[in-house]
Structure 1
Amino acid sequence: MSYNRDKLTKYSLLAKSPVLFSALPKTRSMTKRHFRSLIKRYDKVIVKPSGGSGGVGVISVSSKGRKRFKIHHGTKKKTISGLSPAYSYIRRKTKGASYIAQRKIALARVNGRPFDARVMVQRKKGSGWVLTGKLAKIAGAGYIITNIARSKGEVVPLSAAIRKSDIHGASVSRIQSRMDRIALRTAEQLRKYYRIRTLGLDAGIDRNGKVWIIEANFSPSKSLFLKLRDKSMYKRIVGFHKKRS
């Protein structure tokens, strides 16, 4: 059976794993009913293209009480009264494309800017998955997305971002160990449904140190790792890619 590679399908397949289910932010197709349910339950929702990448088209929606909603798109912010007008405004922005609505995780921040992690997992033919690199992507000032090119953010070693962040109650080693386990388990789970040998996992960390699965990429950019001062992870990823067959 052939499975679609869109975000909602990947979410559904990952949710089949009892190990990963608790690390997945609730995700639904972007309908008015689903949008209402998620914003009512979580107060904050991320709306993004089901098949998009690179942070294009991502919209943040926050409930401000009294049926007012703050909508953050790029660096622009707008407050709208009423759920129906807010939904209609978002739908005009999405221009009829297929979108998902997802519980927004309050990402940990470095100097007030949210960050997430990119974890690379690769495998050679006939062998198991290997974690080959990880880094942190810090959003540019005023942006909700961590995509470096789009938000003019920065790339730093993951351990450095965690140490400088507002995370409390969890050590750097504990968070990274948990992230490693989730990344490897994600690759193993998706391998059941797709013919893949490379996975770039975008993982979030909230302020309590909990690791969340944001997105699983099958064709992740390796060039992010070139932005690190230490090029050893980049060399390992590229070398592994060349020898994987």
Structure 2
Amino acid sequence: MAYHLDKWTKHKIMIESSELASALPATRVLGYQSFSTLLDQYNKVIVKPSGACGGLGVIQVSSKGDRQYEVHYGKSKKTITGLQSTYNFVRSQSKRTLKIVQQKIPLAQVNGKPFDVRVMVQRTTWSNWTITGKLAKIAGSGYIITNTARSKGKVVPISTAIRNSNISGISEEKIQQEIDRIALIAVRQLHSSYRWIRMVGLDIGLDSKGNVWIIEANFEPSKALFLHLKDKSIYRQIMFYAKKRRQ
């Protein structure tokens, strides 16, 4: 059976794993009812194209009370009165594209800027999946997305981001262990449907309590991100296994 490569399909595959359910934000196909329900439940949602990548088309909607909703896209913000009008505006952005709406994860921050973690998971042998690299992506000033090219953000070692973040009540070691555990479960779950994959770039979110959230999975992740780290051995390791699997 062939599976689509969009975010919605990947989410449906991952949510089948009971071990991943608590690490996946509530997600629905965008419609007025799903938009209304999730916004009412969480007060803040993210809307994004199911098939796009690199932070393209991501919109954040926040309920401000008294029928006022703040819409944040790129570096722009606007306030719209009325739920229907807000939905119509969100829907009007690339209206022909399938979109998903999901619970907004309150990402941990470094100096007031949200960050997430890129985890590279590769097949190092025929049956073995291994985490070959991790880094943190910090959003540029004024942006909600962490894609460094789009938000003019920066890449730092994951340990640096955690140490300088607003995460409290949990050790860096435990956070890293949980990231690794969730990443490997997620990739094996995806591999059960996408048997051909050899490399997955997972975007993992952390909240201020150190909880681990799966933002999305990319089967053609940028390896060049790791060139921005001072330690180039991580990039070399990723490329070693990437080339090995093509042989």
TM norm. shorter chain > 0.5: yes
- 1:175 corresponds in structure 2 to 175
- 2:78 corresponds in structure 1 to 78
Report the alpha carbon displacement of residue 96 of structure 1 after superposing the two structures with TM: 2.6
Report the alpha carbon displacement of residue 127 of structure 1 after superposing the two structures with TM: 2.4
- 1:101 corresponds in structure 2 to 101
Which runs of structure 2 are paired with 1:200-215 in the superposition (5 Å)?
Answer: 200-215=201-216
- 1:69 corresponds in structure 2 to 69
* Partner Cα distance (2:21, 2:115) in 1: 22
* Partner Cα distance (1:167, 1:94) in 2: 36
Report the alpha carbon displacement of residue 124 of structure 1 after superposing the two structures with TM: 3.7
Q: Which structure 2 residue ranges, 5 or more long, are not aligned?
A: none
Report the alpha carbon displacement of residue 197 of structure 1 after superposing the two structures with TM: 0.8
* Partner Cα distance (1:67, 1:81) in 2: 6
Report the alpha carbon displacement of residue 172 of structure 1 after superposing the two structures with TM: 0.6
- 1:131 corresponds in structure 2 to 131
* Partner Cα distance (1:174, 1:66) in 2: 41
Amino acid at match of 2:3: Y
CA-atom RMSD in angstroms: 0.8
* Partner Cα distance (2:202, 2:115) in 1: 14
Provide, for residues 47-100 of structure 1, a one-character-per-residue CA deviation record: whole Å limited to 9, x for no partner: 001000000000000000112110000000001111000001111123331111
Provide, for residues 24-69 of structure 1, a one-character-per-residue CA deviation record: whole Å limited to 9, x for no partner: 0011001011000000000000000100000000000000011211
- 1:242 corresponds in structure 2 to 243
- 1:54 corresponds in structure 2 to 54
Provide, for residues 175-209 of structure 1, a one-character-per-residue CA deviation record: whole Å limited to 9, x for no partner: 01000001111111001000211010000000010
Report the alpha carbon displacement of residue 114 of structure 1 after superposing the two structures with TM: 0.1
* Partner Cα distance (1:169, 1:10) in 2: 32
- 1:30 corresponds in structure 2 to 30
> Alignment length, in residue pairs?
245
* Partner Cα distance (2:149, 2:186) in 1: 26
| 1:152 and 2:152 are equivalent in the alignment | yes
